[in-house]
Amino acid sequence: MVDIHTPTATPARALDVAALRTQFPVLEQSIHGHALAYLDNAATTHMPVAVLDAMRAFEAHDRANIHRGVHTLSQRATDDFEAARAVLARFIGAGKDHELVFTSGTTEALNMIAQGLWLGGAGKAWLRPGDEIIVSGLEHHANLIPWQHAAQATGAKLIVLRPDSEGRLHVADLQRLLSERTRVFAVTAGANATGERPAYEEMLALASAAGALTVLDAAQAASHAVPDLSRLACDFMAFSGHKMYGPMGTGVLAGRRAALERLHPLRLGGDMVEWVKYDSAAWAALPARLEGGTPNVGGAVGLAAAARFIDQVGLAAIDQHVHALRAQAVAGLAAIDGVTVLAPHATDAALVSFVAQDVHPHDIGTLLDERGIAVRTGHHCAQPLIDHLGRGPTTRASFALYNTADEVDRLIAAVTHALKVLR
């Protein structure tokens, strides 16, 4: 398979941001009399016309249930769904030994992994008493709480690979934690609360060599730095559509076929069975066995359109653009008296989180909204990490391909103004 994500020796071309912004109708509006500066992309990105049109075309012409009908619309809908699967498999570098399962998002995918590894009864579960699960200390709650539950349910031990005081993970720390009892290692490709980008490639390889199943949360990477499965020692990878210019309620669980076959299905019912009797049933082959019930076919079509859109714009160009915006924001925010930026070293990030002395982030966020600037405030579903860093809730600005340097300047000016008002 051609590696569509390998960086080239020449710099990425600059984005024509003005032209790209015309593809996002939501950006045309004003908020409180100001042009919208949408800087909450780590939570949800917006959808371009190409995605909206793809979903509209499906719903208007091909909408039907899939895999079960002989009529024309059902066959067309099935073709659309499976074509979307193929597009996304190419997007992430999935090979012949991988499978791609549609989910409602990263959270469902990670729960499917964690619960699927211990359900199924004695002799079938991957996790048993005395086993160890290592989870990085950078994780979103969705890649922590399911593992807490799995450990409690099985008698396994949950071990946290803790970051240092600046929020960095160290490969040497993981090496010390790995043992013959390690059964699972879970890590993010990018911390949603700080922007930290761990050396996940090396960490996944070490854990895999130790005999563990490896799990990668790629939710924050899919829009600008999607991991290439063909190059990773990765058994499971999850990401969401709404963080990569696609529809809400869509996502992917991708991974090695042998690893996915270990998962006990969580959704039992239609289309995930080979046969059913009154007292027993047999599961269908992958990926159907993990896709019980009527799927979000229109959402899958939209998600594939989002992947095509990203590839057409160019991952390297998007990555370069958001890194530049982040660097500009870090420099401007750090220059404001009393403001502390979290993980300023994380230059590969598309987001910046900060705290202001004696000012609550909710108040900052409210005053920024009055100037048409949308940011996120709070713990960002990563409270253990924020507590570990000793910072309390933060304000987070996060960037996408349609954001501009002028919007970053507006952010810095608005934060400066807000702090003058609030202090």
234 catalytically annotated: no
**Of the listed 381, 404, 417, 422, which one is catalytic?**
381
What are the backbone angles phi and psi of residue 214, rounded to the nearest 5°?
-110, 140
CB 85 within 8 A of CB 252: no
What residues are annotated to the active site? 381
